[in-house]
Structure 1
Amino acid sequence: MTPLRLGYLYGIGAYLLWGFFPLCFKLLRPAGPPEILAHRVVWSVVFVALLLAALRNIGFLRALLRRPRALAGIGVAAALIAVNWGTYIYGVNSDRVVETALGYFINPLVVVLLGVTVLRERLRPAQWAALGVGGLAVVVLTVDYGRLPYLALTLALSFGGYGLVKKRLGLPAAEGLFVESAVLALPALAYLGWLTAAGDAAFGHVSAGHTVLLMLAGAATAIPLLLFAGAANRLPLTSLGMIQYLAPILQLGCGVLVFHEPMPPARLAGFALVWAALIVFTVDALRASRRARAATMAAAPAPA
């Protein structure tokens, strides 16, 4: 199998798993969002530690401990992904799956906005137009909800910021996830200990199946991230960008078709504006990629 085809399989696998996450997290009730988040963190550490031990790659920790700036960046990344995970779990289990899907539709536009504000990148006119249409969509959805769609914005901003920090750190997927989860593991364990002592823990008190599902939350977290890393190493960025819309489309389908969440005309109009912004953004990215390839080929020396 060619690396390109393998990359597509990895990417589609990752986004399919992320797309069906709402179905998984609904099964974890009656555990509350903080308890689910804590188990997700703790079992992620266990799962990735076992994976790294099997790969005999624990030695990377020694080198990382000699990089204080990298450790500080990992702390920031851990805080951002904790906010993202916690917000997503809360959104799914409070019957707001549609709004969480909106967050991941908005995310590419947030990434562009971070490029302008943090990395001082220059945008092409089409990118500015996409951001403008996306901003209008937020206004329409704010009127529809009667409030800012804060769950969607929190998800988009936290995941966009997480991606920015991860890009600057440049850590491999498994090693990065292990250290981030390890940073969060102590407060997660402390919370679970307090919850158990107070007699409010769902873990071990609902059913054997429920307990196993909470333990599998770590694997469910790590596997799509590892698949995504495999795709990112094999696919062009434009191809990866096209696949990423698979997850929020599936999440939206879960919210509307499976959980029967409302989709009134005004909300549908807001989503339509987001999709229009993403079409403009994607078409512009494809054109820019083609122009860059053409310029590279034109600049390449002719064979002797």
Structure 2
Amino acid sequence: MSDDPPAAPVEAARADVPPAEQGNGLIQGLGAYVIWGFMPVFFKQLTTVPAVEVVAHRVIWSVPLLLAILAFRKQLAVFWGVLKTPKTRWLMLLSSSLIAANWLIYVFAVFSDHILAASLGYYLTPLLNVLLGYFFLKEGMTKATAVSVVLAFIGVAILAAGALETLWVSLALAVSFGSYGLVRKLAPVGSMPGLAAETVILSPVALGAVVWFWLYGGAGGFGSSLRTDLFLIAGGAVTAFPLLLFAGAARRMRLTTLGFISYIGPTIQFALGVFLYDEPLTTPRLACFALIWAALVIFSVDSFRRARRGLAI
């Protein structure tokens, strides 16, 4: 979840999209968010590998796969145009730094048994996006949205008072991914060409990290076992495949519907943290989640009603 999708998807489900296509879009969207939700299970298989090495391999193995997808979709010219345009290239450099930080913090959270903190971060992201849009893009804020933001703020304050040691994980994930979405919204680049440009920009640093860990990292990393190597290589597909599903869903679905199902990812992560990995659901953490869930219900219902009335959401 980013292991979650870009926060600025393509406008979706225009009136000319047939119902059958919208149904296909729903299946694709559900598939993307379910994969993102179960991402902790994948990364838990790599806990013997340093988090930095995991992210480096994720970047390296994503590059050929994304370029192959772009070639199949005849978007390589768009991709090269992104890298050749100075303004867009600088925006991609900034977005690639933000998404790399987000990936690294997320993998660290999974490795250190902070999956609940990670899920909270992605629950917070939609509400943080509202604040970023309000302050940086001069977007309006309804009363219901303002109430949602206040509830979220109270929830974070409760968590800060009772679980400060993991709060930074949630806030760092929300801020890095929310900022990433803001930059991607400012850059006129589609999901796949943009992600390909970001991974190509990151690849020299990632390759340097892979070589360093190969030479000096010790046991447990790439080359330590066939199983570990296969999981590290599969990180490229885990990165690209759900985003490909998401891009298809975004073209076919209403943005409001896509917003509703976006909570599937962090909800699955929450369930995994509590029921599979036995992370403690303390009273401050439960109170925080309750307030965030209430905030998201108010926010989502308001967005749905505004969409039904044909207003901007």
TM-score bracket, shorter-length normalisation: over 0.9
State the match for 1:286 in structure 2: 304
Please give the secondary structure, in 2, of the residue aligned with 1:292.
coil
TM-score where L is the length of structure 2: 0.90
Counterpart for residue 244 of structure 1 = 262
Q: Which one-letter code corresponds to 1:64 in the other structure?
A: V
Q: Which amino acid aligns with 2:296?
A: L
Give the C-alpha shift of residue 18 in structure 1.
Answer: 0.2
Give the match for residue 90 of structure 2. Answer: 72
Q: Distance in 1 between matches of 2:306 and 2:74?
A: 41
Q: 1:158 to 1:263 in 2, by over 3 A?
A: same
Separation in 2 of the partners of 1:176 and 1:146?
35
Q: Partner residue of 1:155?
A: 173
Per the alignment, residue 23 of structure 1 pairs with 41
Residue in structure 1 matched with residue 201 of structure 2 by the alignment: 183
- Judge conservation of contact 2:163–2:284 (CA < 8 Å) in 1: no
What is the one-letter code of the residue matched to 2:124?
I
Shift in Å at residue 229 of structure 1? 1.1
Q: Which residue of 2 aligns with 1:299?
A: none
Measure how far apart 1:201 and its partner are.
Answer: 5.9
Q: Is 2:222–2:232's contact at 8 Å kept on the other side of the alignment? A: no
Residue of 5, 12, 15 corresponding to 2:30: 12
Shift of 1:17: 0.2
Contact 1:41 1:188 in 2 (8 A): yes
Specify whether residues 33 and 27 from structure 1 end up closer, same or farther in structure 2 by C-alpha distance, changes over 3 A only.
same
- Percent of matched pairs sharing the same residue: 38
Shift of 1:177: 1.1
Q: 2:44, 2:111 within 8 Å by CA — same for their partners in 1?
A: yes
Secondary structure of the structure 2 residue equivalent to 1:27: helix
Tell me if the contact between 1:138 and 1:148 (Cα under 8 Å) persists in the aligned partners. Answer: no
Contact 2:31 2:242 in 1 (8 A): yes
* Aligned counterpart in structure 1 of residue 104 of structure 2, from 86, 92, 110: 86
Per-residue deviation, 1:247: 0.3
The letter for the 2-side match of 1:236 is: R
Higher mean alpha-carbon deviation, 36-45 vs 46-55, is at 46-55
Query: Is 2:205 the counterpart of 1:174?
Result: no
Report how far residue 65 of structure 1 moved. 4.0
Q: How far apart, in 1, do the equivalents of 2:50 and 2:40 lie?
A: 15
> 1:133 aligns to what?
151
Distance 1:170 1:265, change over 3 A: same
- Equivalent of 2:242, from 199, 207, 224? 224
Q: Could you list the per-position Cα deviations for residues 118-154 of structure 1 after superposition, in whole angstroms to 9, with x for gaps in the alignment?
A: 1112211111111100000000111121357111111
| Aligned twin of 2:62 | 44
CA displacement at 1:54 relative to structure 2: 3.8
1:300 equivalent in structure 2? none
Gaps of 5+ in 1: 296-304
The ranges of structure 1 where at least 4 consecutive aligned residues each deviate by more than 6 angstroms after the TM superposition are none
Partner of 2:251: 233
- SS of alignment partner, residue 309 of structure 2: helix
Q: How far did residue 90 of structure 1 move?
A: 0.3
2:7 is aligned to: none
Deviation of 1:192 after TM superposition, in Å, equals: 1.2
Count of residues in Structure 1 that have an aligned counterpart in Structure 2: 294
Distance in 1, matches of 2:25 and 2:79, equals: 28
Q: Measured at CA, do residues 272 and 45 of structure 1 come closer, stay the same or move farther in structure 2, by a change above 3 Å?
A: same
- Specify the alignment match of 2:71 in structure 1: 53
Q: Compute the displacement of 1:204 (Å).
A: 3.8
Instruction: Answer whether contact 1:35 1:201 (CA < 8 A) is retained.
Output: no
* TM-score between both structures, scaled by the size of structure 1: 0.92
Residue identity in the other structure for 2:184: K
